[in-house]
Structure 1
Amino acid sequence: MRKLLLAVTALMITFAAKAQVESHVRWSYAAKKTSATEAVVLIKATIDHGWHIYSQTVKEGGPVKTSFTFAPSKEYSIVGTPSEPKPITRFEKVFNMNVGYFENSVVFQQKIKLKSVKASAVKGKLEFMTCNDSKCLPPDEVEFSIPLGK
């Protein structure tokens, strides 16, 4: 009986692994100090061929736009909003509107003001939605912690 239970458990784990969420975007991070009191955080999306993610400026009623939430900290403060390059813009029938999006890769940049020389990392999360010409995946959230270095 115990062997049967182990076999069933192993099968369930195998099926669960195959049912994992489809992902077509990989995120990477870096930070660059621009002075003793300022830095720029770089958040890069590398997007599989044929897929895209949306700009931060998509209007309401469209797809889920890429957005960033930075954790409050006594070590740093956020200056303005994340910047992005000019997106590709096209009319998407499914949303009945023009939308801005990025293919292949995109780097978002966020300026920060350092309140402490001991500031160690910028933390937060990002939300995005990935689509191709035939389907969209559910929106996804990714937490990040970006070391500031010395």
Structure 2
Amino acid sequence: MKIYKYIICFSCLLLLNSISGQANDHVKWTFKSLRVSPNTFEIHFIAKMNSAWHIYSQESSKTISSPTTIIINKNDRIQTGNIREVGKLISKYEELFDETIKYYCDSVVFIQNIKVLGSTPVIVKGDVTYSACSGEQCLPPKPIGFSLVLKN
């Protein structure tokens, strides 16, 4: 009889763990590349947030938020440019910290310019790290890996 209690408890813990893992997926990421000239590409990092959730801009204060970061793995065949953000940026002053936080609700696109040095195809890999927040909680920073092929 004791073994059945342990099996039931273990099963409940597994179920709760799988439910909580699904509940924390408040941001959906997609990645795509666009050729803008023979050797120049844009990588689009597209984030779509669930209702009431937001992610921080790259330019948000590191003191009171976790800015979104995009890291491209070292590759001698590419040259990276600045990353720009396209979306409805919300700036909110936090009096307690005497700082302004910047974030996006609904969706945002981070656009990375990349110049290919030589011939294509070239594989570009890296990570996007972000923190999703609602009015009630912030989840710890989460890295999402990506891999895209740039080709003419």
State the TM-score, normalizing by the size of structure 2. 0.83
Alignment of 1:1-150 (within 5 A): 13-20=14-21, 22-79=24-81, 81-85=82-86, 87-92=89-94, 97-150=99-152
| Separation in structure 2 between the aligned mates of residue 76 and residue 6 of structure 1, nearest angstrom | 54
Structure with the higher strand share, 1 or 2: 2
1:26 Cα offset (Å): 0.5
Tell me the matched-pair count.
Answer: 148
Deviates more, 1:9-18 or 1:117-126: 9-18
Give CA deviations for 1:74-104 in whole Å, capped at 9, x if unaligned: 321212x211136211124675532111010
| Separation in structure 2 between the aligned mates of residue 76 and residue 105 of structure 1, nearest angstrom | 28
Give CA deviations for 1:26-57 in whole Å, capped at 9, x if unaligned: 00011111111111111100011111101101
How much identity, in percent, do the aligned residues show? Answer: 24
State the TM-score, normalizing by the size of structure 1. 0.84
1:146 Cα offset (Å): 2.0
| Separation in structure 2 between the aligned mates of residue 18 and residue 32 of structure 1, nearest angstrom | 36
Matched-pair contact (CA < 8 Å) for 2:33–2:44: yes
